[in-house]
Chains A and B, each alone.
Chain A
């Protein structure tokens, strides 16, 4: 690699394009673009990522010693755009690889040397051990404990809403290490090895009859002391940097109907469903359909305006509204589809795909209105951080956690 930080934009563009032309061959691209990725990463993908990391394209904003190029954002984007143009994966991980970014920012040297490379190459699988049955909206109220025993921590407790726990090698874990200080101050952040006897993973069955998440029961699990990120008791701060990475890498849209039936036309799904059901002429449905489509369109316009504001250098508060807006869009779409179908929505199964879609959308809408912060928490955040309204008094903010009331 050529690595002068003063490489011109044009030279960089040529270099990355040439590298892609040579390495992103027809065979590799066809194989990777056609594979179905879920939790397992294929050998072909790992081998491609290895090449990308070795050529220092994966994390160009990072320092050279960690596979980077120490480039500024503008130049890093040149690389991302070149990869995106040919649909090659693996670039931009200094923005969207939650695990590697968190580890690089907060981890100890030994753990970084051990895991940064494998994380960038997707050779290790990860999961999140944050939420607990007793700590949902109030995440700082976690009761999973980590007790220091010589060169390691012993962890006990229960986590929930963990995707990929069964295949994970490590989980990013928050656990309480000090019960004598207020709740935010006694938390520590760990890379917890998952493949050990003290970890039991049980799938959770959702109201949609799917299982995308697990419960994780932790009994005397061992975490080496070097796997702590940040200082003991500083876990809440580490968590917030991790959450910031997570948010910046999110932003994918909501999921569509389960049947996955492709719309033959570009027509709005609600219009198509009403037409098919012979209900498109009903004035009260027409009003509701128009309004539901409008909610979706207005959210898209807000997002576009926020992006335009950002590109002009002014930060936009509109972005924070998207999740709340999306909740309403999805609940309304589910509700109106149900209303269009009437009694047909009682049915399920593959012979009733319209009912399946309506019911799935209605139920899965809660994924957005509860998951990742409920609408109610989201309204608090908008009220406080965007509109500057004062916080509710917090009765447990300053007392030792062991004295905090629980349900």
Chain B
């Protein structure tokens, strides 16, 4: 069972994550780690583990913290502000939630404790090269040959697959959609890291060639389980986007107070000031949307789908707009590699494509409203 912390406890959690980020996910640290193959700092990963963040939404009986979407969202705001580089979303959120949603008790008892502590990194293969996180995007097929399941096909946009110890693969079969566990070190599995514009991100394609796979005994229709995991992922991502957007606005406003041109602070010009005011509307709206979506998911509200769709496009668009306008407001300095603005712009652009585009979520939002 997932619990919800009191507001004070949640803020305490947020503060400790914020503190950890300011120690270990500084701009310098992000720039160092983003140039490594692994793409995350094992020491920071251990610190997150000790804080209970990796197993945040994993049930206590599997060694997790057993808290819910509201706590996850709060943590992700801080992580987003600091451009945290880690497999948290891939493993601690999506893989953990997908396994819990699939509900294979025996598998969960063996797998989830390692995922919750971060010793095991897991990732889910949910889509192919089309990169649309819908049932039609699945590009792996499964067939049962002599009592053994074999996978064939190519998944893509798999977060941190190059770091994964275990893959959860959603595949089509004659009997419908099924979920499998795969060991990525098998010879028949080819994990190929994909170059990304956002160097703080790690994604890979995963090809299966007659790969032996272990079927996961799902206790609910597989796509519903995937949806449950995607909902949790979207709430986490919305938090990251809201936190990132707020951070960009903060440092952009600070710059506008110190940069002098024409004998004045540039922030005194309405051309800059009005952009900043508009961005404040965007960032505050993103924070409201992300927190509201988390609260709806925590309450299992009947309007959860609507709230998550709203947060998905509102937060994605707010982060992209804030990061993009932030570059413009800085002027030439933000066109340089050494300035951090581009790191946020690239993260914003990446986040805006993960788990569906803004247009996709706007369409879902209208459907959820009955339109």
Whether B191 sits at the interface, judged by CB under 8 Å, is no
Interface residues of B in 315-371 (CB under 8 A from A): 359, 362-363, 365-366, 369-371
Nearest residue, chain B, Cβ from A265: B370
Given known A-B contacts A379-B273, A383-B277, A386-B280, A287 and B314 have beta carbons under 8 A apart: no
Whether A168 sits at the interface, judged by CB under 8 Å, is no
- Stretch of B43-51, B58-66, B173-181, B287-295 on the interface side: B287-295
Whether B268 sits at the interface, judged by CB under 8 Å, is yes
List, sorted by A's number, 23 A–B pairs whose CB atoms are closer than 8 Å. Answer: A267-B371, A268-B370, A268-B371, A286-B366, A286-B371, A287-B359, A287-B362, A290-B369, A294-B314, A297-B310, A301-B288, A302-B284, A305-B287, A321-B280, A321-B284, A324-B277, A324-B278, A380-B277, A383-B267, A388-B253, A389-B273, A390-B265, A393-B268
Query: Which of A280, A304, A321, A387 is B371 in contact with, Cβ under 8 Å?
Result: A280
Known: A299-B285, A383-B267. 10 other contacts (CB 8 A): A267-B369, A268-B371, A287-B362, A293-B366, A297-B310, A298-B314, A325-B281, A325-B285, A379-B270, A389-B276
Spell out B's residues near A (CB within 8 Å).
Answer: 7, 253, 256-257, 264-265, 267-270, 272-274, 276-278, 280-281, 284-285, 287-289, 291-292, 310, 313-314, 359, 362-363, 365-366, 369-371
Task: Give the distance in Å from the alpha carbon of A392 to the alpha carbon of B265 in the complex.
Answer: 9
List the B side residues contacting A380 at CB < 8 Å: 270, 273-274, 277
Contact, CB under 8 Å: B274 / A268: no
Whether A378 sits at the interface, judged by CB under 8 Å, is yes
Given known A-B contacts A387-B253, A389-B253, A268 and B277 have beta carbons under 8 A apart: no
List the A side residues contacting B314 at CB < 8 Å: 294, 298
Task: Give the distance in Å from the alpha carbon of A378 to the alpha carbon of B284 in the complex.
Answer: 16
Whether A26 sits at the interface, judged by CB under 8 Å, is no
Contact, CB under 8 Å: A289 / B366: yes
Contact, CB under 8 Å: A298 / B363: no
B28 CB to closest chain A CB, in angstroms? 27
Task: Give the distance in Å from the alpha carbon of A117 to the alpha carbon of B259 in the complex.
Answer: 55
Query: Which of A268, A293, A387 is B276 in contact with, Cβ under 8 Å?
Result: A387
Whether A240 sits at the interface, judged by CB under 8 Å, is no
Contact, CB under 8 Å: B365 / A318: no
A29 CB to closest chain B CB, in angstroms? 35
Nearest residue, chain A, Cβ from B313: A294
Query: Which of B7, B264, B310 is A294 in contact with, Cβ under 8 Å?
Result: B310
Whether A382 sits at the interface, judged by CB under 8 Å, is yes
Whether A242 sits at the interface, judged by CB under 8 Å, is no
List the A side residues contacting B267 at CB < 8 Å: 383, 387, 389-390
Q: Which 4 A-B pairs rank lowest in CB-CB distance, beginning with the nearest?
A: A383-B273, A389-B267, A301-B288, A379-B277
Give the A-B pair count, Cβ closer than 8 A.
120
Nearest residue, chain B, Cβ from A378: B277
Given known A-B contacts A268-B371, A391-B268, A383 and B276 have beta carbons under 8 A apart: yes
Whether A291 sits at the interface, judged by CB under 8 Å, is yes
Task: Give the distance in Å from the alpha carbon of A389 to the alpha carbon of B265 in the complex.
Answer: 9
List the A side residues contacting B285 at CB < 8 Å: 298-299, 301-302, 325
Spell out A's residues near B (CB within 8 Å).
Answer: 267-268, 271, 274-275, 280, 283, 286-287, 289-291, 293-294, 297-299, 301-302, 304-305, 312, 318, 321, 324-325, 376, 378-380, 382-384, 386-393
List the A side residues contacting B270 at CB < 8 Å: 376, 379-380, 383, 392
Contact, CB under 8 Å: B256 / A389: yes
Task: Give the distance in Å from the alpha carbon of A301 to the alpha carbon of B238 in the complex.
Answer: 15
Query: Which of A280, A294, A388, A393 is B362 in contact with, Cβ under 8 Å?
Result: A294
Contact, CB under 8 Å: A382 / B280: yes
List the A side residues contacting B281 at CB < 8 Å: 321, 324-325
Nearest residue, chain A, Cβ from B363: A286
Q: Which has the most chain A C-beta neighbours within 10 Å: B265, B291, B371? A: B371
Task: Give the distance in Å from the alpha carbon of A380 to the alpha carbon of B256 in the complex.
Answer: 14
Nearest residue, chain A, Cβ from B359: A287
Q: Which has the most chain B C-beta neighbours within 10 Å: A289, A297, A305, A318? A: A297
List the B side residues contacting A286 at CB < 8 Å: 362-363, 366, 371
Q: Which has the most chain B C-beta neighbours within 10 Å: A312, A376, A379, A384? A: A379
Nearest residue, chain B, Cβ from A297: B310
Nearest residue, chain B, Cβ from A271: B371
Contact, CB under 8 Å: A298 / B362: no
List the A side residues contacting B264 at CB < 8 Å: 390, 393
Q: Which has the most chain B C-beta neighbours within 10 Å: A267, A271, A382? A: A382
List the A side residues contacting B310 at CB < 8 Å: 294, 297-298
A330 CB to closest chain B CB, in angstroms? 14
Task: Give the distance in Å from the alpha carbon of A343 to the alpha carbon of B210 in the complex.
Answer: 60
Contact, CB under 8 Å: B291 / A305: yes
Contact, CB under 8 Å: A287 / B371: no
Contact, CB under 8 Å: A302 / B288: yes
Task: Give the distance in Å from the alpha carbon of A301 to the alpha carbon of B285 in the complex.
Answer: 7
B299 CB to closest chain A CB, in angstroms? 15
Task: Give the distance in Å from the alpha carbon of A339 to the alpha carbon of B365 in the complex.
Answer: 20
Contact, CB under 8 Å: A290 / B277: no
Task: Give the distance in Å from the alpha carbon of A301 to the alpha carbon of B274 in the complex.
Answer: 23
List the A side residues contacting B256 at CB < 8 Å: 389
Task: Give the distance in Å from the alpha carbon of A154 to the alpha carbon of B314 in the complex.
Answer: 56
List the A side residues contacting B269 at CB < 8 Å: 392
List the A side residues contacting B284 at CB < 8 Å: 302, 305, 318, 321
List the A side residues contacting B370 at CB < 8 Å: 267-268, 271
Task: Give the distance in Å from the alpha carbon of A271 to the alpha carbon of B281 in the complex.
Answer: 25
Task: Give the distance in Å from the alpha carbon of A387 to the alpha carbon of B277 in the complex.
Answer: 8
Contact, CB under 8 Å: A382 / B277: yes
Task: Give the distance in Å from the alpha carbon of A274 to the alpha carbon of B370 in the complex.
Answer: 12
Contact, CB under 8 Å: B362 / A290: yes
